[in-house]
Chain A
Amino acid sequence: MYEAVIGLEVHVQLSTVSKIFSGSSTAFGAEPNTQASLVDLGMPGVLPVPNARAFEMAVKFGLAIDAEIGKESVFDRKNYFYPDLPKGYQISQFDKPIVGPGRVAITLDDGTIKTINVTRAHLEEDAGKSVHDAFDGMTGVDLNRAGTPLLEIVSEPELRSAKEAVAYLKVIHSIIRYLDISDGNMAQGSMRCDCNVSIRPQGSEVLGTRTEIKNVNSFRFVEKAINTEIHRQIEILEDGGRVIQETRLYDPDKDETRSMRSKEEANDYRYFPDPDLLPVMIDDSFIEACRNTLPELPEARQARYIKDYGITDYDAGVLVADRDVADYFAEVADTSGEGKLAANWVMGSVLAELNQTGSVITEFPVSAKQLADLISRIKDNTLNSKTAKTVFEALLAGEGEVNAIIEAKGLVQMTDTGAIEAIVDEVIQENPDQVANYRSAPSDKQGKMLGFFVGQVMKKSQGKANPQAVNQILHSKLGS
């Protein structure tokens, strides 16, 4: 039996307005090279000037994962040649990163909490992009992205499965979204992940040879890439082979990893402190100012939701994972005064709809206020679960406000017991055989058989009869 040892390097694009060392815009999607200044182009004689906002964001992240903040933050040059790296070096941080050791908690499938240590997080500039399909037989270079601030978050190799890796990645994603330091959009490359994977016999303390899978860009691909790589490594060892330390790429179409370059071909980056940038001294008052702007983080919010709304650990965990979803839920629960119902609706109908359409809560057609209204009408017995579903769908389709929909569709729940009794009598009369069967059945079977009559009554009432009242009346009438 083998055990996987996984560590992740997550690159998060910080949502500063301008680049980390120049004044150019970081906005995504502009015409090639229109957002590249002299500094981004690496013109002779120009110099980098650090963007204070990037430091604020990095410090906030450090505080959020309970990390040590590097009081002296040093930028180093990572030297290598590539056409989309204008200066021939990337400004990064080597041995004095802005964020030191910290930790995050992930929830495993069985509900237990596991702490994953974060080794460090450092600031660096992104490279540009090579464009291979714009010119015939030539490669273009777009430097719009060059100089965009990145926070590279490095975990200890403490993850033991692809699932744990994804859980960790989701927590990191959740934290950066709560802190509002990145849009976390993996499809656009705002969050990218390198996965270091090795395997070893279960119980062994010795680390196996690792490979690094570069630039995986979705939660699902992270899971698949790691599983595929674990498989590949197991097969090699089972065949008596040896895993080679190398960088690999994941191909989602073929679901396989491919060798990119071996250790021998790896660059010697010749790191040294960038003489153009003085060490940045982070003082306590700066850290405290950052701390004061920290929002409530997912863990704290989960605890608060359990307490304030009387919902389960699990439900609270699901609801707080995304800051916008959590805010939405809180508004629904607060407005309707119904925590549990709100949780059920948000987790059931809302999140299901979002998953299905691949949309986000901020663009969801049903506002929190509308959903709260809907829940209020369930609570006051105007709607039952069936009619509520109909109203929800109408809301989704943009058919108006809750009360107007109820009115228009005539969905007011029948709570008048006289009317329900009349329908029940009708149903009893029309189904003498079923009534006889019911009455002769042993009492433990009767519960199930009652469902038939309930169904008939609901049908006749066009779903508007209050199910509890129907049950009660049927019970007394059939019992006699």
Chain B
Amino acid sequence: MSQITDLTLAQLKQALDDGDLSSVEITTAFLDRIDSLNPELNAFITITHEDARKAAADADAARAKGKASAFAGLPIAHKDLFCTDGTRTTCGSKMLADFVAPYDAHVVSRCQQAGLISLGKLNMDEFAMGSSNENSFFGAVRNPWDPSRVPGGSSGGSAAAVAARMTPLATATDTGGSIRQPAALTGTSGLKPTYGRVSRFGMIAFASSLDQGGLIAHTAEDIALGLGLIAGHDPRDSTSADQAVPDYTATLSDPLKGKVIGLPTQFFDERLDPAMRQSMNDVLDVFRSLGATTVEVSLDHIAEAIPAYYVIAPAEASSNLSRFDGVRFGYRAEHPKDLTDLYERSRGEGFGGEVKRRILIGTYALSEGYYDAYYKKAQQIRRLIKQDFERALNQCDLLFGPTTPSTAFVIGEKTADPIAMYLEDIYTVATNMAGLPGGSFQAPLIDGLPSGYQLTGPAFGEGAILNAAHQIQTATDWHTLRPESL
């Protein structure tokens, strides 16, 4: 048997069920690997050794009595914006560096109920704002494939931790590409479910109408297992969908014969990097070899997605982040002169640069006299984008394209140019604007670095996305490639 930490969630579950491995063995293996790699990669902000070890022992005991729940004793780690009762939740910010929530996020409690053991809390761009994980108060996360490069963001810690085999499964969130882009840059699988599929309760908000919790893992199969646990209606989130959760693993093996893959012309125009085009063509060849056909479709308003997104997301963020005022929780400036000073310095000292930039943009966009020109206009564009996707998905089963314009870039390369950074999400933001499910899965390496392809499905079409990705993963070995240095 290969190393424990190389195994997928499904393989680990099998080994536990078969009695080949104990939860203590598994947990210890992952904790040891975290301890050895985290100092360099910085994927974890908090590692919960003791809690995890105790839970592992408990899980083994329960399993011995035949009383264990289905996922008892299997490891997971949570992006540090899912609130965890008793363990700090920092959101990658100085503002919440010492914040301990008195409650668990819905996603966290679902995982816990299923028996999953949390290894700790994962690094991220501050308040999920960023595409490189360089905007963390706790320092940049490094890409396991090349530590001089970024892992993508904002779920950079989640992606790096899975890629480096520090955990087989990680929760993550995606507001404009924050699951898919880092998954693509680290050679992992990532799924952003349909808006409303996973409850946002206890997930610290960036942009409420776009935020969605999801997962990063090695395979589509592992995501199918995990999604079954965290998806479903939650009365504590009014925007959570009251819709039955299918067994996502049951459809993984469905044949792709006859499936129609839509290729948005805007994703394949002359601007697409030739190496990335080659990578995408390699994936498409596999789709065709499995009996799927392709059809060109058009997403007419896709060019407007980034500008509209950078009005809507900051607008919502400017309001969502108002609660961090130094009054009830989080960072509080010392010796405030008066109330205004308390507000100004708590926020001025507690938030990082990118967060402040977006609060300013959002505040401006919502201001009297600008609302119609910015926020309202952006919402109109959002509706047009949604219609584009509906039309396109009427002509095919799934949309296909690159997840990112290029492979992982070098740390510091784009920090001085926010627009260049924002364009990292050029292929991903539209999916959030339309509220649709999107996944990124491993494509061939380009010059030794991972690339990812993106599948977008109709609302609640997570099963179809995972099925297609699983079929590709069954036919190829891109998802099994590992960073050589580790």
Contacts and interface: CB of A to CB of B under 8 A. Distances in A.
B375 A49 contact: no
A275 B208 contact: yes
Nearest to A87: B323
A275 B313 CA distance: 11
A270 interface: yes
Contacts of A277: 238-239
A337 interface: no
Interface string A76-102: 010101010011110000000000000
B83 A79 contact: no
Interface stretch (A40-48, A208-216, A219-227, A319-327): A40-48
A44 B101 contact: yes
B322 A81 contact: yes
A272 B203 CA distance: 21
A45 B319 contact: no
Contacts of B101: 43-45
Contacts of B339: 83
B427 interface: no
Interface in A273-326: 275-278
Interface in B297-327: 315-316, 318-319, 321-325, 327
A270 B363 contact: yes
B40 to A, nearest CB: 30
A270 B319 contact: yes
Nearest to A141: B327
Nearest to A48: B238
A278 B239 contact: yes
B91 interface: yes
Interface string A179-211: 000000000000000000000000000000000
Interface string B61-82: 0000000000000000000011
Interface residues of B, number: 46
Interface centre among A41, A50, A268, A277 (most CB of B within 10 A): A268
Contact of B235 (A41, A49, A81, A275): A49
Interface stretch (B162-170, B249-257, B366-374, B457-465): B366-374
Contacts of B321: 88
Contact of A86 (B105, B323, B368): B323
Contacts of B91: 44
B383 interface: no
A44 B327 contact: no
A38 B325 CA distance: 16
B353 interface: no
A442 B303 CA distance: 108
23 contacts: A38-B103, A42-B323, A43-B102, A43-B329, A45-B202, A45-B203, A47-B238, A47-B239, A50-B238, A79-B366, A81-B343, A83-B325, A86-B323, A87-B322, A88-B321, A89-B322, A270-B367, A270-B371, A271-B371, A272-B316, A272-B371, A275-B239, A277-B238
B339 to A, nearest CB: 7
B366 A270 contact: yes
Contacts of B324: 44
Contacts of A278: 238-239
Interface centre among A83, A271, A272 (most CB of B within 10 A): A272
Interface centre among B200, B316, B319 (most CB of A within 10 A): B319
Interface in B228-249: 235-239
A41 B103 CA distance: 13
Contacts, number: 103
Interface string B358-384: 000001001110010001000000000
B207 to A, nearest CB: 7
Contacts of A38: 102-103
A87 B320 CA distance: 8
B191 interface: no
B319 A89 contact: yes
Interface string A28-44: 00000000001001111
Interface in B29-71: none
Interface in A317-342: none
B455 interface: no
B207 A45 contact: no
Nearest to B196: A278
Given A47-B236, A47-B238, A81-B343, A41 B322 contact: no
Given A272-B366, A276-B239, 17 more contacts: A38-B102, A44-B205, A44-B323, A45-B81, A45-B105, A46-B236, A47-B200, A47-B238, A50-B238, A79-B366, A86-B323, A86-B328, A87-B322, A141-B327, A268-B368, A270-B371, A271-B371
Contacts of A87: 322-323
A275 B201 contact: no
B204 interface: yes
Contacts of A276: 205, 208, 238-239
Nearest to A44: B204
Interface centre among A45, A48, A275 (most CB of B within 10 A): A45
Interface residues of A, number: 28
A299 B298 CA distance: 62
A89 B207 CA distance: 15
Contacts of B203: 45
B79 to A, nearest CB: 12
A189 to B, nearest CB: 22
A83 to B, nearest CB: 5
B89 interface: yes
Nearest to B330: A44
Contacts of B235: 49
A275 B316 contact: yes
Given A42-B328, A45-B101, A49-B236, A88 B368 contact: no
Contacts of A141: 327-328
B483 to A, nearest CB: 33
Nearest to A39: B236
A388 B225 CA distance: 84
A50 B318 CA distance: 23
Interface string A235-270: 000000000000000000000000000000000101
B99 A47 contact: no
A275 B207 contact: yes
A81 B343 CA distance: 9
In the A-B complex, the 4 residue pairs with the closest CB atoms: A88-B322, A275-B209, A275-B208, A270-B366
Contacts of A89: 319, 322
A45 B322 contact: no
Given A81-B325, A89-B322, A278-B238, A44 B316 contact: no
A268 B370 CA distance: 12
Contacts of A46: 103, 201-202, 236
B263 interface: no
B283 interface: no
A47 B200 CA distance: 8
B96 interface: yes
B319 A272 contact: yes
Interface centre among A38, A81, A83, A270 (most CB of B within 10 A): A270
B366 A44 contact: no
A271 B375 CA distance: 11
B186 to A, nearest CB: 26
Contacts of B205: 44-45, 276
A87 B239 CA distance: 19
B316 A268 contact: no
A179 B238 CA distance: 28
Nearest to A83: B327
Interface in A1-58: 38, 41-50
Interface centre among A41, A47, A48, A271 (most CB of B within 10 A): A47
Contacts of B208: 275-276
B465 to A, nearest CB: 25
Contacts of A44: 83, 89, 91, 96, 99, 101, 204-205, 323-324, 329-330
A233 B252 CA distance: 76
Contacts of A86: 323, 327-328
A270 B329 CA distance: 24
B386 to A, nearest CB: 15
Given A42-B328, A44-B83, A44-B91, A49 B238 contact: yes
